Structure 1
Amino acid sequence: MGRHAVLSASSSHRWTKCTPAARLELEFDDNESSAAAEGTAAHALAEHKLRKALKMRSKKPISPFDCDEMDEYTDAYVDFVLEQLDLAKQSCSDPLVLIEQHLDFSKYVPDGFGTGDCILISDKTLHIIDLKYGMGILVNAEHNSQMMLYSLGALEIYDSLYDINEVSMTVFQPRRDNVSTWTIPVDDLRDWAENELKLKAELAFKGEGEYCPGEWCTFCRAAVKCRARAEEKLKLAQSEFRLPPLLSDGEIEDVLGKLNDITKWANDLLAYATDAALNHGKQWSGYKIVAGRSVRKFKDEDAVAEAAKANGYKDIYRQSLITLTEFEKLMGKAKFNEVLGDLVYKPPGKPTLVPVSDKRPAINVANATNDFNEIMEDE
């Protein structure tokens, strides 16, 4: 198991905004979530496929998360990298491809290092490509501190070998149909590193500075017990949580912008308190642990089938089609479109209120509501 940086690139979104957070997080266990484990498996598979595509030796990893969906999304990642490599070859005869490259950016961040998924280096451009397998949060490449740190680390190694003028950073997030690219001149990147990053990194490494709650608290391990965050959420609840008809439009809009974080904080707090009571003997005054609702299950399906048949019950199986994705994988996309294309449709999704920053186009509210209600009534 490799060591972890106190100021990691992946957590820089937090410690550049709230500098004491990095040291505070060290007091909490880093328990890998199922989503994080799935992401790790996807990265390993994507790395293997990319190495094979580039004629490098690689052994295919095996994980409990292997499925058609992961296979499809990692294929898309490899296709994207190869497309970018072909583009680089148009202006550079010998572009360099680095996969899972160790990067050191300790010139700006104390003990700072990380690993870049894929780096393409040509005469004028350094291109960082980062696979994001998660689907919960849309990740934007613009001013993305993780990718900026990786870029600084890559420049430390290769800027003297190539005449690099600019850095492109791409977030490839296939489960959200999100490919976000941002380009910055090397001089501007280094200016940010010298005049903004260095100071924040020094404060963060010492655990100093002011606590500053915000959307960056989402994955902070210390968030559930952070007093600054709790005070902010409780203050909002006390001053603004009146019944909707008693709020002005402006107050409702203000609360809408904070709902996700408040809900996340409340759920985190409940999960933390439940874990403490269940696994660490904590007794919360006025609360108790009870058994939740459960659903009956068969112990052994083969034994159930045998017992049912022995007693004369024959009609015990259900037949169903394989999924649309499995059909597409079975036939190939071209044959799938030829044979089944006319039999596929995409029903309208449930109308959802989102911030205007969301990339999806606005819909006709009356038509969308009617279409969705008709679908629900038909099901």
Structure 2
Amino acid sequence: MAKHALLSASSAERWLNCTPSARLTEKIPDTSSPYAAEGTLAHSIGELQLQLALKKITKRQFNSELKKIKENDMYYEGMLDEVEDYTNYVLEQYNEAVSKSKDAVIFLEEKLDYSTYVPEGFGTGDCIIIAAEELEIIDLKFGKGVEVSPINNSQLKMYALGAYDKYGFIYGIERIKITIAQVRLNNISSWAISADELLEWAENELKGKAQLAFKGGGDMVPGPWCAFCRVRQTCRARAEMNIETYENYNQDPRLLSIEEISEILGQADDIAKWAKELKDYALDEALKGTKYPGWKLVEGRSNRVIDDPDALVVVLTKEGYEEEKLYKPKALEGITNLEKLVGKKKFNELAAGLISKPPGKPTLVTLDDKRPELDSAEEDFF
């Protein structure tokens, strides 16, 4: 099993904001999700495609490795097309780099050490391109839940530190470009920072917090970074933050003001998510034998199921019921599943003119959301 850094770059947003969390979660098993496994497979495809394009492997080697990848349960047909958006971007950037400098270089799945600033810190950069005093870190993100921004991205800045420490002096790097390729959200975006600014951040902010986190010190600070924390269900600071939201408004006047409603709306999703995670955690622990005062484990409600559909059809048709009326009409798979089956690019070609996107249902979001504001007149919606 691969070794993981205590202060990993991927969890940097969490331990930089909540320094005790690294040690608190250290001995709790990290249950890998199917999304993580899918992402790992996508990275393997991306590396393989680039190795072939860069002539680091033969077509025969490519086909042999691709065959193994296709045998993975997480593989689906459209995955190749989706990852290709990342590999095409990488090749475009590399070709541009070569046009700027004959000494341009590219590294794939590069092992990076940033322990100068983070105790025992190391990781792997998906792609590094260096040319004309600029180093670009390109990171493939296969998730499609939340859009990831490259701006001040702690994970990628730490990888950039490792890359700069390894190649900065050799190539005289003065500028760092950080790129996120979140292919399934059509999000390929970049952000740049000078090498001096990166080193200043590392020395004045990263280093001190990393040392504190490594010792397990500091205050518990809940926030968006709690999402993947392995003690998020039982964290007292997070519980107090969510419960306090209601306590603060238990006062006269007896009706909430617009400002108070606005503040609660900002916390509502977090409160609901925290409550569900707490319930799920308590149920798992109860199944293991934990007793919670005032609560008991019982069998939940269930729906009836047909154990042998074919046998039931035989019985009913013998009684004179028409077989066609015993089955549901055929239903077409959803667009996402059809794209996986056919391949995203080919599906878009074949389905051209046959798919539309109706207006979405109005929803309240914060002002930093990228979508344009709608007219709030009720008759516009109904």
TM-score of the superposed pair, with normalisation by structure 1: 0.86
Find out whether 1:120 has 2:120 as its counterpart.
Answer: no
Q: What is the match of residue 44 of structure 2?
A: 44
**Structure 2 unmatched ranges of 5 or more:** none
Name the CA shift for 1:331/1:149 in 2 (closer, same or farther; >3 Å): closer
SS at match of 2:363: coil
Find out whether 1:194 has 2:203 as its counterpart.
Answer: yes
Residue type of the alignment partner of 1:125: E
Aligned equivalents of 2:379, 2:42: Cα separation in 1: 35
Name the CA shift for 1:165/1:255 in 2 (closer, same or farther; >3 Å): same
Alignment length (residue pairs): 369
TM-score of the superposed pair, with normalisation by structure 2: 0.85
Aligned equivalents of 1:146, 1:134: Cα separation in 2: 16
Q: What is the match of residue 377 of structure 1?
A: none
Deviation at 1:93, TM superposition (A): 2.2
Aligned equivalents of 2:227, 2:4: Cα separation in 1: 20
Aligned equivalents of 1:271, 1:124: Cα separation in 2: 51
Aligned equivalents of 2:306, 2:46: Cα separation in 1: 37
Find out whether 1:248 has 2:257 as its counterpart.
Answer: yes
Aligned equivalents of 1:38, 1:331: Cα separation in 2: 16
Aligned equivalents of 1:141, 1:271: Cα separation in 2: 33
Deviation at 1:189, TM superposition (A): 0.2
Aligned equivalents of 2:245, 2:237: Cα separation in 1: 13
Residue type of the alignment partner of 1:6: L
Listed as ranges, the matches of 1:88-127 within 5 Å are 88-127=97-136
SS at match of 1:353: coil
Q: What is the match of residue 33 of structure 2?
A: 33
SS at match of 2:36: helix
Deviations 1:216-263 (A, max 9, x none): 122111222222222222212222378998111111111122222222
Name the CA shift for 1:36/1:317 in 2 (closer, same or farther; >3 Å): same
Listed as ranges, the matches of 1:191-340 within 5 Å are 191-240=200-249, 246-278=255-287, 280-297=288-305, 299=307, 314-315=323-324, 316=327, 318-321=329-332, 326=338, 333=345, 337=349, 340=351
Aligned equivalents of 1:301, 1:162: Cα separation in 2: 68
Deviation at 1:160, TM superposition (A): 2.4
1:218 and 1:264 in contact (8 A); partners too = no
Q: Which shows bigger deviation, 234-243 or 354-363?
A: 234-243
Name the CA shift for 1:368/1:153 in 2 (closer, same or farther; >3 Å): farther
Aligned equivalents of 1:332, 1:212: Cα separation in 2: 41
Q: What is the match of residue 15 of structure 1?
A: 15
Aligned equivalents of 2:339, 2:204: Cα separation in 1: 54
Listed as ranges, the matches of 1:33-182 within 5 Å are 33-57=33-57, 58=62, 59-60=65-66, 61=69, 62-182=71-191
Name the CA shift for 1:307/1:134 in 2 (closer, same or farther; >3 Å): farther
**Structure 1 unmatched ranges of 5 or more:** 374-379
2:22 and 2:214 in contact (8 A); partners too = yes
Aligned equivalents of 1:343, 1:111: Cα separation in 2: 54
Residue type of the alignment partner of 2:4: H
Q: CA RMSD in A?
A: 3.0
**Percent identity, aligned pairs only?**
43
SS at match of 1:209: coil
Aligned equivalents of 2:33, 2:340: Cα separation in 1: 30
Deviation at 1:164, TM superposition (A): 1.4
